Amino acid sequence: MSQPVNGVYLGAGAGWNWLQDTDVNVRGAAGDTLRAVIPGADSNGTLESNDGWVGVVSLGYGFGNGLRTEIEGNFRENKTDTISGFGSESYLGIGGKQRSWGAMVNVLYDFDLAGMFGGPRWIVPYLGAGFGWARFQADGTGGIATGGSRLLIDGEDDVLAYQGIAGAAFPITAVPGLAITAEYRFFGTTKPEIETRVNQVNGIVTRGDVELSNDNHSVMLGVRYAFNQAPPPAPVPVAPAPAAAPAPARTYLVFFDFDRADLTDRARQIIAEAAQNSGRVQATRIEVAGHADRSGTPQYNQRLSQRRADAVAAELTRLGVARSAITVQAFGESRPLVPTADGVREPQNRRVEIVLK
C-alpha cells in the first residue's frame, strides 16, 4: 500500500538523454572569418548530437501530505553527430561532446489515487518543477569545412537552469519506504557562451565566442528510499459472525483516515448500529470519546479528536438519539489503543469510542 512520503528521503536515477538540435551562433572575429573565407557562409548553424545519458541524485523531505521538496545534482553527456548550416557550408571530421553538470531545487507533488477516487495503491504519479544552476561544457566540438578551415568550439559556461518533471513511483510493499521510480524530465538552460576559433588553411587562427541553445529530454529509471517510513497499517480486525444472534454490543469503535474528521461509509454503518442498539439495551447514557494518533502536536491532536467526537455525536443525533443522552469527550493522543513512539502514525489510534451505558 502506498503512503505519503513523510520525512527525509534519498533518490537516484539514470537513463537516456536527447539533446535537441542546438542552435549555434558564432560571434566576434571568428564569425567574421567564417563569412570572409567561406563563400556564401554565415555565422549561424545547427549542431546535432547522438543519444546520450543522464544521471541524477537527490536528497529530499516529504511533508506527509503529498508535497515534497528536494535538492538535486545531475549530469548529462551527448556526443556530437553533425554540424550543418553556416550558409551552404558542410563539415567533415565531426567530433566532440556536450556535457552539463547541474544543481537544482525541486518541488514535487505526489497524487494519492486511492484517496482521490479509490484508484490503485501500487502506483503514485507525481509532477514537479525545478530551478537552479548548470555548467555547460563543449569539449572539442567541431569539424572541418570543405574549404579546409576548421571550426572548433571548446570551453564551458555557468548558466541558469530549469526543468519540469513527470513521473510515477511504484512502492515495494516488502520494504517500507522503498520505491522504484520512472520519470520524464525536460531540462533547459539559458544560452551558454563558449570560446570558439576558426583555424584557416593558411595557419591563421581567429578567435571569438559562440552562443548555444541547450534543451534536453530525459527518460530515467530510479530508486527512492524514505527513512522512518511506517509499515503499511494492519487491517482492523473484524470479529467472525457467531452462530446465534449475539446480544447487542455496548462498545463501538469508529476509525478515521489520517488527519481527517469526516465519516467514511463504514464509520456511518457502525454509528447506525450503535444508534439502533442503544434502544435495545435500554441505554440511559451514551459516551462518545475522540482520540488521535501521535503524529502531530498534542495541541493539534486534541482539537482533531474533538472534531471527530463531534462528528460522531452529530450523526447519532441525526439517527434519532436524543442529544441530551450523549456525553462528548476528547482525549487527543493521551489514550492510545496501540502504544507508539511520538510522531508515529497508527490507524487504530485514530478513533472515536461509543459506549452505551
**Residues of each domain in the chain carrying CATH 2.40.160.20:** 6-226
Assign residue 164 a region (left: φ > 0; alpha: ψ between -120 and 50; beta: otherwise).
beta
pLDDT tens for each residue of 280-325: 877 778 999 999 999 989 999 999 999 999 999 999 999 888 888 8
Report residue 83's pLDDT band, with 50, 70 and 90 as the boundaries. Answer: confident
Say if domain 251-356 classifies as CATH 3.40.630.10: no
What b/e readout covers 54-86, taking b as 16+ CB neighbours within 10 angstroms? bbbebebebebebebebebebebbbbbeebebb
Higher pLDDT, 54 or 141: 54
Predicted pLDDT of residue 238: 66
> Which pLDDT score is estimated for 103?
97
In the chain, beta strands by DSSP E = 6-19, 22-27, 44-49, 52-63, 67-85, 91-110, 124-145, 150-171, 178-189, 193-199, 205-212, 215-226, 251-255, 286-290, 326-330, 351-356
Query: What integer pLDDT is reported at residue 149 of this predicted model?
Result: 73
For 4-51, the pLDDT digits (tens) are 899 999 999 999 999 999 888 776 655 555 555 555 556 778 889 999
Mean pLDDT of the chain: 87
- Pinpoint the residues of the chain covered by CATH 3.30.1330.60: 251-356
Q: What is the pLDDT of residues 118-129, one digit of tens each?
A: 778 899 999 999
Are 165 and 131 in contact, with CB atoms under 8 Å apart? no
Higher pLDDT residue, 108 or 90?
A: 108
CATH code of 6-226, in short, is: 2.40.160.20
pLDDT band per the 50, 70, 90 thresholds, residue 279: confident
